[in-house]
Amino acid sequence: MTLAWACAGMALDEQKGRPMTMPYADGDAPLIPRPELTLPALRQAVATVAPSRLPEFFEDLQRAFVRAGDEDSVVPIRMFYRQWGVIVEIERHPETARRLHAAEAALNSSDPAERDRAVQEAGDIVRAAHREVAGG
């Protein structure tokens, strides 16, 4: 997931020349409603849509609170909520999550064109999830 976040530059619809907004596939109905960006809601959402990622969730939570204390700022906690809101936004759409995971796997391809497509796909998905979490 880390590389997908790093590769989230702007993408344009090549046919229309304007930003792409919704890479969600038709029929990619969400498994759960979008949770609020609160610790209990995000914890429950992760447990539902990506239970294998709960240890990562709690490690990130601990790092965010330590950093918040070190910096005397709530910004790291807000960033944690936003990051995991985006992860849940992707994972609650099974087809979108499948596409992201396939793109992440394709980043290891020996074919540069395939890697470029994977970077584009992952970036499109992550940007769209950020927009949705931010309110559309």
- pTM score: 0.77
Looking at residue 2, its pLDDT comes to 41
pLDDT exceeds 60 at position 26: no
- DSSP assignment of 25-90 equals PTT---SSPPPPSSHHHHHHHHHHH-GGGHHHHHHHHHHHHHHHHHHT-SHHHHHHHHHHHHHHHH
- Residue 13 confidence class, pLDDT cut points 50, 70, 90: very low
What is the dihedral sign for C-alpha 103, 107, 110, 111?
positive
**Residues 78-90 pLDDT 10s:** 999 999 999 999 9
DSSP 8: -
In angstroms, rounded to a whole number, what is the distance separating the alpha carbons of residues 70 and 33? 34
pLDDT exceeds 50 at position 24: no
**Residues 59-78 pLDDT 10s:** 999 999 999 999 999 999 99
